[in-house]
Amino acid sequence: MLPLDPLAEKDRNYYSYYDTPDGQDVQKKIMVTTRYGLTTGFFLGTVDVLHYSRAVGFSNIIKRYMRHMVPLGMIGATFAAVANGVQHAREKDDMLNYFVGGMACGPLAGILLSHLPRGAAGRAGSRHRRPDQERRGGQWLRAHTDA
C-alpha cells in the first residue's frame, strides 16, 4: 500500500548531509560530499572518454577518469571539512561557514580547470605568469630574449 503523504520519511540505509546539524558527524559529512564529487567526476569522466578525448587503452582511460574524479572528490571533502571546521571554530551556524568552505575549494577547482589562478578566488584580479612570459594581444606568449 502506498503512503498517502508523499513527503513522509522513507526508509533509507544511507546518510545524507543534512541528517544532523552542522558540526556533528563531520566524518560522515566529509564522506557524503566526497561521494557527491566522485559520482559527478565519474559522470564527467564517462562523457570525456566517450565523446571528447576518445581515449584508447586502459591506462589512458583511467587517467581521464582520474582527471575528473580526484579533484571533484577532493573538492567535496575540502568543502565539508572547512565548512564544519569554521562552524566549530566560530561556534555559529550561518552562511559564512559555507562561503569559507566554498572559497577553500577554489584552488582545487583551479586544478580541475588546469589553471590555478582561474579557481583561486583570492587571485581573481591577477594573472599568474612565469618570468619568461609576456602579454601581447590578450594572450601570454614566451618572451623572446637574444641572450
Of residues 39 and 124, more confidence is placed in 39
7 in a structural domain: no
Domain membership of residue 89 as a residue range: 22-122
131 in a structural domain: no
Q: What is the mean pLDDT of the chain?
A: 78
**Residue 116: is its pLDDT beyond 70?**
no
85-95 pLDDT tens trace: 999 999 888 89
141 in a structural domain: no
127 in a structural domain: no
What pLDDT is attached to residue 37? 94
147 in a structural domain: no
For 139-146, the CB contacts below 8 A with 24+ separation are none
70 in a structural domain: yes
136 in a structural domain: no
Tell me the H-state helices in the chain.
26-47, 58-90, 95-104, 106-112, 116-119
* Cα gap 124→136, rounded to integer Å: 20
Q: Tell me the percentage of the chain whose pLDDT exceeds 90.
A: 41
38-49 pLDDT tens trace: 999 999 999 999
Confidence of residue 15 (pLDDT cuts 50, 70, 90): confident
**Residue 16: is its pLDDT beyond 70?**
yes
33 in a structural domain: yes
Q: If you average pLDDT over residues 74-93, what whole number do you get?
A: 92
For 9, which DSSP code? P
Q: Structurally, how many domains does the chain consist of? A: 1
